[in-house]
Amino acid sequence: MNSTSTSKRLWDAFWQLANPKVFMGWSGRWLPWLVGLTILFLGSGLIWGFFFTPDDTRQGSTVKIIYLHVPAALMAINGYLLMFVGSLVWLIRRQHVSVLAAKAAAPVGMTMTLIALATGAIWGQPMWGTYWVWDPRLTSFLILFLFYAGYIALWAAIEDDDTAADLTSVLALVGSVFALLSRYAVLFWSQGLHQGTTVNLADGAKQENISNVFFQPLFLSMAGFGLLFVTLLLIGTRTELRRRRLKVLQVRERMQ
């Protein structure tokens, strides 16, 4: 009797991944495909964008930076969301796979944030005349970078794995509240209460390019970055799960 809807079955199947053995098996099967797809999409997106797109009338060839900046920024936020969800699931259900996925996602997210900041600054230099501008978006990303750094540092500083998982999860949740608050505060800080018309470089570029030939390589690049994120996430989570098993074995050996 096939009465359960597909979405419920997908949901149940997804939660099967909470079992470390199931996760390792599933991720091991999919990883080669993911690596291949990542190379395909990322490569084609960046190559197309770098070599085969025309210059922008206002921004010249710097518009090519969009193929790095926008996907990296999206992944930076994505990494953060994963950290948040993974921490939440750990605190509620105490499933190691989710919190270790959060732990594995953090360095990826942090690198993406760094890329977004660097490309944003380099892009800004010819446009605004200075490497760094305290505009709301860049500033929010800087704060996000600090959150990632703190989360990773806390994981590294605590010896007991489960205690580390608990405390970093609490940090992630409380930090999220403040992150939301910071976003609003930074907007307020740069423009007063009224949202002025800050011409954000990437937004401006996105608006004029959304309908023409720039968009396709951008889409490929975004997909590529997304696939890269998932690939690294799976590799990292597998490493963490193995490391955990290794610790258990080592403790057992020492006790014998």
Partner 1 sequence: MIQLFMRDIGLAVRSGGGFGLALIFFLIVVVLIPFALGPDQFALALVAPGVLWLGALLACLLSLDRIFGLDYEDGSLDLLASSPLPLESVYIAKAAAHWLTTGLPLALAAPLLGVLLNLSFDAGMALCFSLLLGTPALSLIGAFGATLTLGIKRGGLLLSLLVLPLYVPTLIFGAQAVRSASLGQPFDVPLVLILAISLGAVAILPFASGAALRINLR
Partner 2 sequence: MMPDLGKYAVEVMGSYGVSLLALALLCVVYIRRSSLVKRALITAEARKDA
Q: Is the dihedral of CA 20, 26, 28, 30 positive or negative?
A: negative
114: contact with partner 2 by CB under 8 A: yes
171: contact with partner 1 by CB under 8 A: yes
Per-residue string for binding with partner 2, 117-146, x by CB under 8 A? -xx--xx-xx--------------------
39: contact with partner 1 by CB under 8 A: no
The vertex-185 CA angle with 182 and 187, nearest 5°, equals 110
* CA end-to-end span of the chain: 52
Identify residue 25 by its one-letter amino acid code.
Answer: G
* Residue 5 interacting partner from partner 1, partner 2, none (CB closer than 5 to 8 Å by kind): none
Residues whose CB falls within 8 Å of the CB of residue 165, separated by 6 or more in sequence, listed in order: 90, 96, 99, 100, 103
50: contact with partner 2 by CB under 8 A: yes
Q: Interface with partner 2 by CB under 8 A: which range of 85-93, 150-158, 204-212, 239-247?
A: 239-247
Give residue 82's Cα distance to chain centre: 7
Query: Which of 101, 172, 228, 230 is close enough to bind partner 2 by CB under 8 A?
Result: 228
- Are residues 131 and 122 in contact, defined by beta-carbon separation less than 8 angstroms? yes
Which residues contribute to the site for partner 2 (CB under 8 A)?
46, 50-51, 55, 60-62, 64-65, 68-69, 72, 107-108, 111, 114-115, 118-119, 122-123, 125-126, 228, 232, 235-236, 238-239, 242-243, 245-246, 249-250, 252-253
